[in-house]
Amino acid sequence: LADRLDSAWKKLRGQDKITQSNIQEALREVRRALLEADVNLQVVKDFITEVETKAQGAEVIAGVKPDQQFIKIVYEELVQVMGETNIPLAQVEQPPTIVLMAGLQGTGKTTATAKLALHLRKLERSCMMVATDVYRPAAIDQLVTLGKQIDVPVFEMGSDANPVEIARQGVERAKAEGVDTVIIDTAGRLQIDQDMMAELAQIKEVVQPHEVLLVVDAMTGQEAANLTRTFHDEIGITGAILTKLDGDSRGGAALSVRQISGQPIKFVGVGEKVEALQPFYPDRMASRILGMGDVLTLVEKAQEEIDLADAAKMQEKMMAAKFDFTDFLKQMRLLKNMGSLGGIMKMIPGMNKLSEDQLKQGETQLKRAEAMINSMTTQERRDPDLLASSPNRRKRIANGSGYKEADVNKLVGDFQKMRSLMQQMTQGGLPGMPGMFGG
Ligand code: GDP
Ligand code: MG
């Protein structure tokens, strides 16, 4: 019966697998969103191909249109590709942790150096900043001023010294003074340039940094990919900071940087002030990249429908009298996600006339039930009859969950009653679909 129910359900709901043809519209939508967010074209192509392959043949959850579900898959993949969680700055056991900043001129390296130092200081990690940009007259002053502002020492040797030498001595000083983290600010050029790369490579060679952070301006757009490739190939980066996200950029550079280098974005800059630094969160960035418009609404809608579809599936299972404690638990969690018992009660015919008090009481009872079900073995959850026939098992569950044996007895008894009620309902056929499934 269950199988027949299942296939009939699918026929009622339409397509049951994601195929190339039933996601065409969604594909176009996603591609457009990514390009509008300034994700590099090649990165977009690779990403879409990857997601398409992954999604092919995925079961469509009843009640959700394939293209809606596809967009949800895209969103989740985007979060995953960008690293799922925030990855903090390295901290070595034998200080100092050495951080080398890299990037083009004007991207916000010097500002990010100070922002990072302030961020670490708030985490009680002592810092020193090293000024190696000897090419622009004001660059050293800029860092010194920022250092005073945030009360972090700056190591500098004037603008006649050699940048590699400054970096080397700066790290020596940091070691001697026992600071936790030393951040080396470097010079940039307006464009990628061999001298700059050679100097960076030399500094890296000499100080052996634990982190090489590429500072990328979020407004860089399409170019972010090439930039990342060059820096990663020639220097090797361990992470990135995406700056100027306070502007209107949708932040597509984040995806490009991550896809090309495989290294995580660790922070984002969201303003000119030294406090304007935030840890990078892949889920927030995924929403931003997909945009506030239609796509995100669709994702949210899909999510809602998936919840509803889950509930519908459960109801179907109830009817088929295959409902067990695992389903019961799952349904309770679903209820919690939806926020209230009232929400789901409305979906069950004849159960929508409960008062506030009754609902509250119901929720308390559900909590108790959850604690007891948590104390059941997998086998017991699957086969409630096991419990009905064994007082010892019920006693064990009472002890495990901290409730009385009488409570467990009642739970099991009520459950059995509910199941037989469901069975009676099924024998009469599904409401609204008389005769469809035989007798
Ligand atoms: P550098 O050449 O890479 O060292 O860049 P700077 O740190 O000197 O910054 C260049 C300009 O960008 C300055 O005017 C900064 O105030 C500005 N800037 C840096 N980070 C951000 C940010 O996250 N948001 C905004 N709006 N401006 C920033
Ligand atoms: Mg600078």
Question: 188-247 pLDDT, tens per residue?
Answer: 887 878 889 999 999 999 999 999 999 999 999 888 999 999 999 999 999 999 999 998
Residues annotated as binding site for GTP? 103-110, 185-189, 243-246
Cα angle 384-387-392, degrees, rounded to a multiple of 5? 165
- What is the tens place of the pLDDT at every residue in 306-346? 666 666 666 666 666 567 888 777 766 665 554 445 544 54
- What is the tens place of the pLDDT at every residue in 233-279? 999 999 999 999 998 888 999 999 999 999 999 999 999 999 999 99
285-288: long-range contacts, CB 8 A cutoff, minimum separation 24: 285/82, 285/251, 285/254, 285/255, 286/75, 286/78, 286/79, 286/82, 287/75, 288/37, 288/250, 288/251
Residues 215 and 357 in one domain: no
Domain count, the chain: 3
pLDDT at 387 over 80: yes
Say if ligand 1 is within 6 A of residue 272 CB: yes
Confidence of residue 404 (pLDDT cuts 50, 70, 90): very high
Give, in order, the Cα–Cα distances in Å from 146 to each of 131, 140, 272.
11, 10, 12
pLDDT at 104 over 90: yes
Residues 361 and 417 in one domain: yes
Residues 262 and 353 in one domain: no
Let me know if residue 91 belongs to a domain.
Answer: no
Residue 268: strand, helix, or coil: strand
Q: Using CA positions, which residue lies closest to atom 27 of ligand 1?
A: 272
For 62, phi then psi, to 5°, come to: -50, 135
Say if ligand 1 is within 6 A of residue 114 CB: no
Let me know if residue 388 belongs to a domain.
Answer: yes
Torsion of CA 113, 114, 120, 122, to 10 degrees: -160
Let me know if residue 346 belongs to a domain.
Answer: yes
Rounded to the nearest angstrom, the distance between the alpha carbon of 108 and the centre of ligand 2 is 7
Say if ligand 1 is within 6 A of residue 270 CB: yes
Say if ligand 1 is within 6 A of residue 106 CB: yes
Pairing type for strands 97-102 and 127-131 reads unpaired
Rounded to the nearest angstrom, the distance between the alpha carbon of 108 and the centre of ligand 1 is 4
Residue 215: strand, helix, or coil: strand
Whether pTM > 0.90 for this model: the answer is no
Q: Which residue has the tokens 């997601």?
A: 51
Residues 247 and 336 in one domain: no
Let me know if residue 296 belongs to a domain.
Answer: no
Q: Which residue has the tokens 């985490």?
A: 123
CATH code for the domain in which residue 62 is found = 1.20.120.140
Question: Taking the alpha carbons of 109, 110, 113, 119 in that order, is the dihedral positive or negative?
Answer: negative
For 134, phi then psi, to 5°, come to: -95, 0
To the nearest whole percent, how much of the chain has pLDDT over 70? 78
Query: According to the model, what pLDDT value does residue 24 have?
Result: 83
Rounded to the nearest angstrom, the distance between the alpha carbon of 156 and the centre of ligand 1 is 21
Say if ligand 1 is within 6 A of residue 251 CB: no
Residue 317: count of CB within 10 angstroms of its CB? 18
Residues 105 and 55 in one domain: no
Question: Taking the alpha carbons of 342, 346, 351, 353 in that order, is the dihedral positive or negative?
Answer: positive
More confident residue, 245 or 63: 245
Q: Which residue has the tokens 């969201």?
A: 270
Domain boundary among 280, 295, 330: 280
Note whether 60 and 170 are within 8 A (CB): no
Residue 119: count of CB within 10 angstroms of its CB? 21
Let me know if residue 297 belongs to a domain.
Answer: no
Rounded to the nearest angstrom, the distance between the alpha carbon of 77 and the centre of ligand 2 is 35
Say if ligand 1 is within 6 A of residue 116 CB: no
Domain housing 370: 321-427
- What is the tens place of the pLDDT at every residue in 134-188? 998 799 999 999 999 999 999 999 999 999 999 999 999 999 999 999 999 999 8
Residue 391: count of CB within 10 angstroms of its CB? 12
Beta bridge partners of 102: 214
Secondary structure (DSSP) of 319-332: HTT---HHHHHHHH
